[in-house]
Every structure is written in C-alpha cells, then in structure tokens.
Structure 1
Amino acid sequence: MNARAGTEFPQVMGGAKPSMDYAELRRDPEYAELNRALLDLVPVGSGPSVLDLGCGDGAVSEQLLLRDPAMSLVGADPDPALLDEARARLGHRGRFVVGDAASVSRLFPRDAFDTVVLANCIHLVPDLAEALDAIGEVLAGGGRLVFNSAFYSGAEDAADVPVYAELVGTARRVARKRGLPLARSAAGRPAGLRRSAGDYQAALAAGGFTGVATTERAFTLGRRFLTALCSTPMFATAALPGIDRHIAAELLTETLERQYRRAPFTITRRCVYFSAIRP
C-alpha cells in the first residue's frame, strides 16, 4: 500500500508492532501508480504547510516535495525506524515526528496545516470518527484532506474473487497438512477493510467536512503486486489467522508461485480517492 509509492500505517490498529513487511508493496511499480493519482489531489503553490500522515519511510513525502519544493512538509508515523529512513531520504527538507492519526491534535497546534495527506493507510485507522476529528483540528479553515485506499469493501473485482479464494484456500490446506495452528478467524483484523466508499463519505459528512469529491479507479495488477500483498501482515494474518505472520506470508507466497508458475495472470483492483475541505 503505504502500503505505500504509498506507505502503510500499521500501528494504528491498536498496538501492533510496525514492521518492514510492507516494503515490497511500497516498492511495487503498479502500486506506486495506484497511489500516484492521490498526489494529483494535493494543491500546489504558495508554500503550503502539508502533513503527510502515515508517512512511513517518506516515499510519498519525497514525491510531494518534488511536485512543490516550496511546501513546508511534516511527516508523522508511529514507527520510529521508518521515520529514520524518511529523515535519511529527505534530510532537512522535511520534519518527522512519531504519531498516529488520533494523536495529531495533541502533537500540533490548531490550524497548523493547509493540507493533510493519508496515502493508502486510512483503512488501518481503527476509529475513523476520532481520526477525522483530530485531523479537522489541525487543518486550517479551507484546508484540504486527501486520502485513498485500495483496501475497502468493493475493491476487488467480482471476477477475481475466486483467485483470492483459491490462493487462501490452498494455503490453508497446506498449513493444516504441516500441522500449523490455524485459527477460525483473524483476531484484530482491521475494521477498515470492511468499510465501503459510502462509509468514508458518511464519516466525512459527520465530521463536518464539505466539498467532498470521490473517484474510483480500476487498476490491472500482475503477479508482482499480489506477491507483495501476500507479504504484508494485514493480508497474511487475515488469510491464515493463528499462524505467525511471517510464516503465513511465506506460505501464501509459496502457494501463489506454485499455482501460477507457468500461466501469467492479472487481477483488477479498485482504488477510491477522496478530497474534502474543512470549512
């Protein structure tokens, strides 16, 4: 995602340890293209103050600064190790602080930013209303919130659901044969994965945001994307609950490579984009 050219925001799930397991997904060029459309929603010019919330290793922060070198950029993420990478990437061009979506109103003064960006991480925010309230406090009047997600109810193309089902079902059968402790359900599965585009629209309206613009784009993604997706804790723990996420990721990747070793394949996935104004 960054997850994310997007980054992911794993700590906001409620204490889960952030990890580098999203690195492959962030580096995937198809995933980067999926996120590039988000950058087009960010206003440029006049030296704006921008918060890249869930900035991870600074990949999106770097792209934002390339588009508008005059902006004053702050990145926030709950993972100090990723923030060290962001500082190494950008040096003095940005300021980076430890924090999650719900904490921004405690970290920054009111009306501190002209724009807040969440690049493909909103689905990992557990309490959307709380996060939007906090973001609304640090956005200046007339400021813009932009975010996207390729992980929401309706993101998968109906024709591709059997691909996911076959992959997960085969991996589960292999896990059982190997005596791995497969649970019935995934504890702590992010609630955001069950949100729909309509849920985000309703939350923005309830949070007092106006001028809400929503678009959905479909992307054709190949094996590299799905392999990278299998390596993320979000997907691995949901597919193979009860199994160590690293082992689960390895098993899913192994299953994917075995099933599609000879036949190239693609999947279609939608990404939803939002832009909203704080009155």
Structure 2
Amino acid sequence: MNAPFPQPSSDYAALRRDPEYAELNRALLGLVPAGPAPAVLDVGCGDGAVSELLLRRDPATSLVGVDPDPALLDAARARLGDRARFAVGDASSVSRLFPSEVFDVVVLANCVHLVPDLAEALDAIGRVLAGGGRLVFNSAFYSGAESPADLPRYAELVGTARATARKRGLPLTRSVAGRPSGLRRTAEDYQAALAAAGFTDVVTDERAFILGPRFLTALCSTPMFATAALPGVAPNIAAELLTETLEELYERAPFTITRRCVYFSAARP
C-alpha cells in the first residue's frame, strides 16, 4: 500500500482528527471575537470537539452546545463535563430554546450546509444574539467549493464505488430529494441570506485546502458523504466501499484533491 488509508469509521470523528481539517477549525476560531467571559452558543456542536477548542481558547467562556443528535450530546458531556451546557435542538430551534439576546457569539462549525431552511435559522439565531453580537460559520460543502479540475476525480470515485455496489448486489436507491439544498448554495447565497436576515458588517474569506488520502477516507466515512454517494446502502458498508475504491484509485496513480472552505462573520445590529 502506497498511502496510509485508515479504517473507515462511519461518523465524523475521523474527519475531526485530520490535521488539515483541524486547521479549518483554527481559522474559524480566529474569527470568534474575544471578550470578557463571553456567552457562546455552539450550534451543531456534535461531540463537543469545537466546543472544547472554544473553551481552551478562553476558559472563562460561558458555553452552550446544541445538536439534534442526543448520542453526540452524551459524548460532548463526557468530553467537557460541567464546563459547558448542552441541549437537543438545531439552528432553527434556538429561539425557542433560549431567551432573546442572551449570547454574545453564535458559532456553526462545518455544519451550515446541513441547515435545510437557512432563512429560518438565521432569524432564530438573530433573536438569541445580543445587539452587537456576532455569528461565525464556515463550510467546505457549497457550490463552488470543488476545483473544476478535480470534479472528474469525484465522479470517478463515486461511479466506481456504485458499480462495485451493484456487482455485489447491494440495494442502491435513487434519492428523491436530489442533492441537499445546503450543498447547492453558493458563497453569494450565504451573503444574500445574511443581508436579508438583517446582519451587518459581514466579513468573508475563502481558502483552499488539500484532501490527501487520510482526509479523503475520513470524508468518505461521514454519513453525509457516504449516504449521498451510495444511497440505500448502510453507511458503514458505503464507507467501506468508498475507502476500498480510494485505495484502488490511489494505487493506480497517487493524487490529492483541492477544495475551498468559505468563512463568514456577521454582526447583529
């Protein structure tokens, strides 16, 4: 084997451990304003990995994490104990979960593309942010994130994995909804949505990063990628097939993929 391909994990843990992905998070944290004992809401907090980084950055932070998956919240509580509070919910529900204008900062780390109704979510977030507070988010999954030169590589990866699944009699299905709406948004769509929701002082940045074999394996193991690539196949089996395909393609000709991540920071007036 010419490259270190880890075992697929069928979750987001391997992706969060990747050094390149960690750098994306560090860039996001750089947009979070410092302040005396800030009240921070981490939306889509998952198992608390970014919550932990926020608390390391400023131990005086009063942090609340929200995620729709109770199992991930249990992992977050195990990770952080009483250093943070957690609640079941999503971006659109935060205005029902918390009082108005109670947070100084709201963070969505690597998950805004999973928000189905962006306008509803931004309205809810705007309600819980204090005046002058900031919303900070990023995504590497939006229309335009992929390098045009690398699009054939994605197509080859998914197409080969699907062909293997059919040969093995696995029940591939067609996705009725098609590509999720969040993955079809552009950076300009996010800018327009922020303006429509009344946010001001919008700062945006895009940066390129490299997906090597470990990063690609971690990406293919995420439920979002695995189920989109091989709909109808159990996520763990889909992750294994995609990783197997990656290894075969890499053995033929080693490669990396370039992708972009977009960052936003915006103020509530």
Q: Same fold (TM over 0.5)?
A: yes
TM-score, normalised to structure 2, is 0.93
Q: Matches of 2:76 and 2:114 in 1, distance apart?
A: 20
**Residue in structure 2 matching 1:246, options 236, 252, 266:** 236
Structure 2 residues without counterparts, runs of 5 or longer? 1-8
TM-score, normalised to structure 1, is 0.89
Q: How far does residue 262 in structure 1 lie from its aligned partner after superposition? A: 6.1
Percent of aligned pairs with the same amino acid: 82
Equivalent residue pairs, number: 261
1:87–1:188 distance in 2 versus 1, CA, 3 Å: farther
Secondary structure (helix, strand or coil) at the match of 1:143 reads: strand
User: Is 1:177–2:167 an aligned residue pair?
Assistant: yes
Q: How far does residue 149 in structure 1 lie from its aligned partner after superposition? A: 0.1
**Residue in structure 1 matching 2:120, options 118, 121, 130:** 130
**Residue in structure 1 matching 2:249, options 254, 259, 262:** 259
Structure 1 residues without counterparts, runs of 5 or longer? 1-18
User: Is 1:226–2:228 an aligned residue pair?
Assistant: no
For structure 1, which segment, 143-152 or 187-196, has the greater mean C-alpha deviation from structure 2 after superposition?
Answer: 187-196
**Residue in structure 1 matching 2:64, options 64, 67, 74:** 74
**Residue in structure 2 matching 1:273, options 247, 256, 263:** 263
Which position in structure 2 is the counterpart of 1:6?
none
Secondary structure (helix, strand or coil) at the match of 2:101 reads: coil
Which position in structure 2 is the counterpart of 1:205?
195
For structure 1, which segment, 125-134 or 155-164, has the greater mean C-alpha deviation from structure 2 after superposition?
Answer: 155-164
**Native 8 Å contact 1:77 1:97 kept in 2:** yes
Structure 1 residue identity aligned to 2:259 = R
User: Is 1:141–2:131 an aligned residue pair?
Assistant: yes
Structure 1 residue ranges, 4+ long, deviating more than 6 angstroms after superposition: none
RMSD: 1.6
Secondary structure (helix, strand or coil) at the match of 1:120 reads: coil
Structure 2 residue identity aligned to 1:272 = V
Secondary structure (helix, strand or coil) at the match of 1:151 reads: coil
Which position in structure 2 is the counterpart of 1:16?
none
Secondary structure (helix, strand or coil) at the match of 2:12 reads: helix
| 1:125-145 CA-partner distances (Å, limit 9, x unpaired) | 000000000000000011000
Structure 2 residue identity aligned to 1:107 = L
Q: How far does residue 66 in structure 1 lie from its aligned partner after superposition? A: 1.1
Which position in structure 1 is the counterpart of 2:29?
39
